[in-house]
Amino acid sequence: MDNCIFCKIAAKQIPSKTIFEDDDLIVFHDIRPAAPVHFLIVPKQHIPTLADCGEAEHALLGKMMTLAPKLAQEQGCGYVASGEGPGKGGFKAMFHIGPDGGQEVYHLHLHVIGGPHPWRGER
């Protein structure tokens, strides 16, 4: 899609701090992090919002959702029920959908937001 910032990031026309990439997805740190860990899981295919997804996107969405805890663990904010050390506290995984959902970039992405109590703004 012309003029889509996440398509441009996926095509490497705009740099990003990429932490994972395969044929379907690119994952990079959010440029304005809302917490100590904040990255975005983004399909390479241009799909504007979650509301545009249907049966054809089931596998893609499943892949995005199951990648979230794996990468959160690598980034130090995974959830381990009985673990010690970094990455045991958990994280938020969020889609923003449409203007009332706070969506700014109309290319599907899953926010992964973690660190100690990110919802309280603690660092």
Task: Go through the chain and tell me how many residues it has.
Answer: 123
Structure-token pair, residue 3: 């003029």
Contact 80, 87 (CB under 8 A): yes
Closest distance to ligand 5GP from the beta carbon of 80 (Å): 26
Asked if 8 touches Zn ion (CB under 5 A), the answer is no
Distance CA(105)–CA(109), nearest Å, equals 9
Which residue's Cβ lies closest to Zn ion?
A: 4
Q: How many CA atoms lie within 13 A of 102 on its CB side?
A: 6
109 is catalytic: yes
Distance CA(52)–CA(110), nearest Å, equals 14
Return the H-helix or E-strand segment holding 42. Answer: strand 37-43
Q: Nearer to Zn ion by C-beta: 39 or 91?
A: 39
Q: Nearer to ligand 5GP by C-beta: 2 or 55?
A: 2
By CB under 5 A, name the one of 27, 43, 107, 111 that touches Zn ion: 107
Which residues make up the interface to ligand 5GP (CB under 6 A)?
5, 14, 16, 28-32, 96, 102-105
Asked if 4 touches Zn ion (CB under 5 A), the answer is yes
Quick one: what does residue 53 bind among Zn ion, ligand 5GP, none, with the CB cut-off 5 to 8 Å set by partner type?
Answer: none
Give me the catalytic one of 38, 107, 109, 111: 109
Segment near Zn ion (CB under 5 A), from 36-44, 54-62, 67-75, 104-112?
A: 104-112
User: What's the gap between Cα 21 and its chain centre?
Assistant: 12
